[in-house]
Structure 1
Amino acid sequence: MKFEDFSLRVSYETDGKEVVVSDGDGIISVEKIAEGDRFVVRLDAAKKVRLISARMMASREFAPEERFFGGGYQSWSLTREYSPKDRQKGLRNVAHLPVVRTFAAASGDYDFARYGRKLYHSHGYTYIRRGSATELFGSLDESFAFTLFYLDAEENVFAVVKDVEGAEIEGGVTLFDLFRAEGTYDEVFDRYFALYPLKAPRRGIKRLAGYTSWYNYYQNVTEKIVLRDLEGMYGAAGSAANIFQIDDGYESKVGDWLKVDPAKFPNGMKPAADAIHAKGYLAGIWVAPFAAEFKSAVAKEHPDWLVRDAKGRPVIGGFAWNGFYVLDHEKAEVRQYIKSVFDAAIDEWGYDMFKLDFLYAACMTPRNGKSRGRLMHEAMSFLRECVRDKLLLGCGVPMASSFGFVDACRTGCDAELSYQDKLYVKCTNSEIISTRNSVIDTVFRRHLNGRVFLSDPDVFFLRDDGMKPTSYTQSQKEVLAKVNKMFGSVLFVSDNAGDYDAKRRAMLLDAFAPLDGTVLSAEMVGKDRINVGFVEKGVEKVFSFDLSTGDYSVRAVK
């Protein structure tokens, strides 16, 4: 497909009427600029209008041997390649019930993306692959609105759609800024991200390896646990680790970040950071800046800070903490409050890295004449300013909106304490906790690692016991560790490594060490198997594993 094969359709509302244009009219002028593999569409509105829709369409069949990349909406959203026989699933089963849907739909694209039989979509960019031949289409500017790429295998249509819900324009705006490339998988992504205008911060850190408290203690983390597990990590890994991160649980309520739980952290947060620094590690801490759980002081004392729907009801951000509200970063008081949290965590507590989570909440509700994409772009720009020169690890963030703002980013959903999926995976959404989906996400978002940010595939588990015991066979543990090592640059465990035996310590050090080689390819083979081609120490190999059982093999290519 070439850009000249596409037709453009833009609709807007003015004086209570919908108007459709492709080349402009007396109110909106349309400028189309084609320069090689780049295509730009600019709009100029003579007066304020509300956009209704914007799309470009071309004819395109989906051949049986081809694969369409379906990039999920945010960090946790399922991301993989699809064949024409596959189905890209939306909300599942009971998640369609009104009460459940309020929570289940919050973290995904279910309110603005289309799902259907033989209909596939991708956020920010996509590719269609036939063997090693890859055709990529990508947006180079998500600051005005999100870009979605659709392939309709029923109608044989390829479409590029802007999510312009809520967007009002007056004057000039860039509607589409698109790039197209053909070549091998690595060639097209090298070209795309070399051209991408927002560049990731470069701080000389190529790999983060260490500890996060979440997947053993969840909200039950304490200062005593942190100091004990810090000694355990240092004893097991020494300088092979470089970061130690305290996750959710230190605060009295989510949203009340400066009200540290006195029972869990009686000395506040600074002594923990000091102890981490004494081991030579970076000190990390978790914050969900736009979240406020229902019972938080910030939600109770400042109801005017909450994002509200068209009926004036507080918007619910998701399942977590039995439900939470969303703080409106459009309000100056909210921005001042959030900034004060980071000022304290940097200047008083001494933290070096911030894992910022549930970031999608910032853009759930288009408002103030802004689309979801614009709200998210402005939120990420604001957070980047707040953390200054400290490391920012994004999580639960619309992927393309993270580009250029984060140092590292989660590229998959949360891993489960058991290798096998729980029942809720089949009856909720594509963002739910699942080790299987986390592995798939990690494999198929591999092109982001090192090009855009340090990819965080989430934790791997070596323990069996702990406060939260795990249910993994030895083979399943090895598969998860190998996948994270091969495709990620942020390697975390939540185990007390002080309890490791010699075998587990060796596995930890192996996983923390960078792969001595290069990944060549990765492909789904049937429903449950992934084959990864790679070179290690000069030898070409295939890593083949079963998603269902966790069985795997590594063999040299003859």
Structure 2
Amino acid sequence: MHKWTVNEAPAGLKVLISGFQSWSEAELHPLTARQVAPAHHWQVEQGHDPGFAPGGEAGVWRSHTVLALAREDGSGWVGGALDATRTFVQWEARAQGDHVTVTCRLEGPEVGVLWEETPDVIATLEAHAAQLGSAMHARTPAPLRVWCSWYSYYRAVTLDAMLDNARLAREQGLDFDVFQLDDGFQADLGDWELPSAHFGGHARDLPERLRALGFTPGIWLAPFLASPTSQLFAQHPDWMLRGEDGQPLPVGQNWGGPYYALDTTHPEVLAWLRNLGATVRGWGYTYLKIDFLYGASLPGVRHDPSVGRAGAYRMGIEAFREGAGPDAFILGCGAPLAQSIGVVDAMRTGPDVAPIWDEESRRVWLGDATGPSARNALHTALSRWYQSAWYQPDPDVAICRRELSMLSTPEREAIAGMLDVIGGLRASSDPIALLNDEGLELLRRCLKVSTPDRPVSLSLRGGAAVTHFSRGEFNLTDRPAPDAQGRPLAPHSYREAQK
């Protein structure tokens, strides 16, 4: 373990952290505040790292891969990892009287870490992130513009619905590159080659028709998961990550119950993952969204006990990449972030957007801000701006429709502002037929690719996140907040900077 002492009063410092995986909170708080701990174990499994979870103690902050302490003038300290391929780099800052104790624990092979004082926390954090991306051979292809079925149809998606939206997008002249089929086409979680009863065909029936309309075909998979009702689970129970009792280990709650994760140290599992990647490529899909990837990294009993959690995760995503091929575009989601560098092309950098601003009951009463909501997505994605050096960031979809949505106009504009600031992928999931002229105009703006923006300050805060950028400012709180010029910024809103 590495340990440093920062001889500075904790009350004058803010702490910037990044959580374990895509949905885990990234935050900017006073160091003396309390990092919230989720109330239930399943929330820790599904949104955090059970091996290094938030502790819920005032003045103690845990972060993965990077950590920063910032003074009001922008100076401070930055910690970072020199490699994260098969190692979890776990930081903790602890306020103690008139000083701060910073520790860094490595879970996995020994790697170098950096901790340095700097006059410019923002620039130093960006430089460290770029250094890590370069060392791990980050893939950062051109960002794509994607329509996905999830927030339109959820698991009720059909083959006809995909084609109807693709035709309407072409008629409207919308600049999508990819049309991505999401969850719901398959018979069960793990049974990817068997169609669901309602889909109206097979996933392999879609790519040729999408290409005829001028779109790249995309598909969603959760390659490391298996439902207890799936044929995969029934035929290969020995492939599952196990608990100390020798039984398959549940790794979350979704799809109406618990689900299990494949043991990615098992040679037969790795062969199956390679085959899955090759199979969907054979169907004609070149854009592959792989989700719920954290399952391969959770604590458990593995086929090969000599492989650590980070190494097991990396073995799994490398096997899938080998099967899909070097030219496939892979978007990771629900994934350990830094450990994915060099394998994925893009990465979700926050929780799901949703057509609501805030799921306050889960966030406040259950201590979990990893669930779907516009507020959670902005909060975390904005605080990971520097990760554009690791992959193309995916801050999730714009919500441009008024129907089937509880978002106000300022809230929809705030999501659009996030997409502009973060750069990276541009995505939408609105049913095209529901968009009126105003919605179509907003969508066209959201599909304009931009370069990643930079924060101008970590002391100006419109919420417990990084909110003030060179191109605009966000207020993520429920009350007016001042912008950089002292003018009031409305709640749940974004304002472009004056040209």
- Asked if these proteins are the same fold (TM beyond 0.5), I'd say yes
- Render the CA deviation track for 1:326-385: whole Å, top value 9, x for unaligned: 1111112212222222111102x1101111111111011254033222222322322332
1:307 positional shift = 1.1
Q: Corresponding residue for 1:312?
A: 246
3-state SS of 1:312 partner: coil
Q: Corresponding residue for 2:407?
A: 472
1:387 maps onto 2:324 in alignment = yes
| Mapped partners of 1:305, 1:201: distance in 2 | 30
| Mapped partners of 2:199, 2:184: distance in 1 | 8
1:293 positional shift = 1.3
- Render the CA deviation track for 1:92-147: whole Å, top value 9, x for unaligned: 3xx2xxxxx24653441244345122101110111222233253211112234311
- Render the CA deviation track for 1:386-431: whole Å, top value 9, x for unaligned: 3212011010111111122211000001122311325233316342
Mapping 1:40-51, distance limit 5 Å:
none
Q: Which amino acid aligns with 2:443?
A: L
1:462 positional shift = 1.2
3-state SS of 2:110 partner: strand
- Render the CA deviation track for 1:15-34: whole Å, top value 9, x for unaligned: xxxxxxxxxxxxxxxxxxxx
1:502 positional shift = 2.0
- Render the CA deviation track for 1:68-92: whole Å, top value 9, x for unaligned: 1111110000101121342211113
Q: Corresponding residue for 2:487?
A: none
Contact 1:112 1:163 in 2 (8 A): no
1:275 positional shift = 2.0
Number of residues paired by the alignment? 474
Q: Which amino acid aligns with 1:379?
A: G
Distance 1:517 1:435, change over 3 A: closer
Contact 2:179 2:218 in 1 (8 A): yes
Q: Which amino acid aligns with 1:296?
A: S
Q: Corresponding residue for 2:74?
A: 132
Of structures 1 and 2, the larger Rg is shown by: 1
Q: Corresponding residue for 1:83?
A: 30
Cα RMSD (Å): 2.4
Contact 1:60 1:157 in 2 (8 A): yes
Q: TM-score, normalized by length of structure 1? A: 0.79
Q: Corresponding residue for 2:48?
A: 108
Distance 1:209 1:526, change over 3 A: closer
Q: Corresponding residue for 2:16?
A: 69
- Render the CA deviation track for 1:493-533: whole Å, top value 9, x for unaligned: 11122332222211111111134894442546364797423
Contact 1:530 1:545 in 2 (8 A): no
| Candidates 209, 229, 246, aligned match of 1:295 | 229
Mapping 1:133-532, distance limit 5 Å:
133-154=75-96, 156-164=99-107, 175-180=110-115, 182-196=118-132, 197-203=135-141, 205=142, 207-238=143-174, 240-266=175-201, 268-321=202-255, 322-347=257-282, 349-366=283-300, 367=302, 368-388=305-325, 389-425=327-363, 426-427=365-366, 429-449=368-388, 451-465=389-403, 469-515=404-450, 518-521=453-456, 523=458, 525=461, 527=463, 531-532=467-468
| Candidates 101, 112, 117, aligned match of 2:58 | 117
Q: Which amino acid aligns with 1:64?
A: A
* Structure 1 range deviating more: 322-331 or 250-259: 322-331
Contact 1:414 1:458 in 2 (8 A): yes
- Render the CA deviation track for 1:291-314: whole Å, top value 9, x for unaligned: 011211111221111111111121
3-state SS of 1:433 partner: coil
The runs of 5 or more residues in structure 2 that have no matched partner are 479-490
Q: Which amino acid aligns with 2:469?
A: G
| Mapped partners of 1:129, 1:219: distance in 2 | 43
1:534 maps onto 2:470 in alignment = yes
1:273 positional shift = 1.2
Identity of counterpart residues, as a percentage? 23
Contact 1:107 1:361 in 2 (8 A): no
| Candidates 470, 477, 484, aligned match of 1:547 | 477
Distance 1:517 1:323, change over 3 A: closer
- Render the CA deviation track for 1:200-250: whole Å, top value 9, x for unaligned: 2254x2x22131111121111110110011112223343x22111111111
| Mapped partners of 2:414, 2:111: distance in 1 | 41
* Structure 1 range deviating more: 487-496 or 439-448: 487-496
Q: Which amino acid aligns with 2:254?
A: A
| Mapped partners of 1:259, 1:423: distance in 2 | 37
| Mapped partners of 2:110, 2:467: distance in 1 | 39
3-state SS of 2:426 partner: strand
1:57 positional shift = 4.1
1:255 positional shift = 0.6
* Structure 1 range deviating more: 512-521 or 486-495: 512-521
| Mapped partners of 1:429, 1:163: distance in 2 | 25
Distance 1:255 1:306, change over 3 A: same
Q: Which amino acid aligns with 1:429?
A: D
Distance 1:446 1:417, change over 3 A: same
Distance 1:288 1:457, change over 3 A: same
| Mapped partners of 1:337, 1:381: distance in 2 | 12
| Mapped partners of 1:411, 1:522: distance in 2 | 20
| Mapped partners of 1:257, 1:184: distance in 2 | 48
Contact 1:443 1:522 in 2 (8 A): no
1:544 positional shift = 3.7
The runs of 5 or more residues in structure 1 that have no matched partner are 1-53, 96-100, 168-173, 536-541
* Structure 1 range deviating more: 224-233 or 131-140: 131-140
3-state SS of 1:463 partner: coil
* Structure 1 range deviating more: 184-193 or 223-232: 184-193
| Mapped partners of 2:407, 2:442: distance in 1 | 15
Contact 1:531 1:545 in 2 (8 A): yes
